[in-house]
Amino acid sequence: MRGFIKQIVLSTIIIAGTLLVSCEKEVNIKLNTGEPSLVVEGVIENGLPPYVFLTRSIGYFSTIDLNTLQNSFVRNAKVTVSDGVRTVQLREYSLDTGANGNKLYFYSIDTAGSFFVGQIEKVYKLTIEVDGKIYESFTKIPNPTTIDSMKTVQPDPPFNKEKNPLARQVRIYFKEPDTAGNFVRYFTQRNSEPYYPGSNSVYPDDIINGIYFETTLSLGEPTGREFNRDSSTVGYPGDTVTLKWCSIDRANYTFWSTYEYSLGTLGNPFSTPIQVKSNISNGALGVWTGYGAVYKTIVLE
């Protein structure tokens, strides 16, 4: 459980972004503050227990700091996950952030009383009961797409190879399933870093059904890190890079693609307004994601 908890702590980087993005409206902007919405970030992956973060959205003009984020966590909720046969109630955990006593709160299985991990091709129902309201969502863990091979490459243009000749990225080769409706989200880990999603981490299969395909992947960076076109999203010879390649369902593809678009255009007055598409009922924001994940590792050359 310790290693699992260490992995999921870094998942909270989405929370700050979601709290900001969720304040965007598609066209109309209301300056008066309404009731905060429930923000859900839940994940279940094949071979791993589910975990769920619950927070409240933060007003567009609110000052956001560690104390604000600390106070946004939703506690004492009843959270259950069901595979249609078994239903388990998740336990609330807290983790010290090491920053002035601030803590992170999340829900996962009670290790003393249950063993419940994701399985491929199963559908999982998430139910949240809090403040007299019930929120529900369904997600499926799709069958993963196998990565045939990986190799080290120099970044594609417009990356300036002359300024950073040792920069490396990863090219992958795989066969896309010949059925429509396959979607992927990927993460990378450099050496002992956590897994970070790529800057454009989701892909549909609209034009590559049933064919062998290759693509170059930029390496993931933590949300909020300043982007440098000459050094971001790359590794260097000798780095160990692990790719986490996840099949997701359509609802999750829709959420993550609209979320990443909104995050990438936040603050741009010329961008097209877009609403992030949640898969949670009853007006909640956020997402309940099933990952059919495979892992593959390469040492960059």
Residue 46 pLDDT exceeds 80: yes
- Ordered by start, the domain boundaries in the chain are 2-141+266-290, 147-246
Least confident range from 85-94, 103-112, 188-197, 225-234: namely 225-234
With the C-alpha atoms ordered 9, 12, 13, 14, is the resulting torsion angle positive or negative? positive
Position 174 scores a pLDDT of 86
Which residue would you say has higher pLDDT here, 116 or 160? Answer: 116
Mean per-residue pLDDT over the chain, rounded: 83
Residue 60: pLDDT band (50, 70, 90) is low
Residue 32 pLDDT exceeds 50: no
Residue 14 pLDDT exceeds 70: no
| Dist CA 201 CA 199 (whole Å) | 6
Residue 25 pLDDT exceeds 60: no
Which residue would you say has higher pLDDT here, 208 or 237? Answer: 237
Nearest residue to 54 (alpha-carbon basis) of 81, 19, 97: 19
Residue 273 pLDDT exceeds 80: no
Residue 16: pLDDT band (50, 70, 90) is very low
Segment 217-223 mean pLDDT: 87
Position 180 scores a pLDDT of 66
Residue 4 pLDDT exceeds 60: no
pTM of the full structure? 0.86
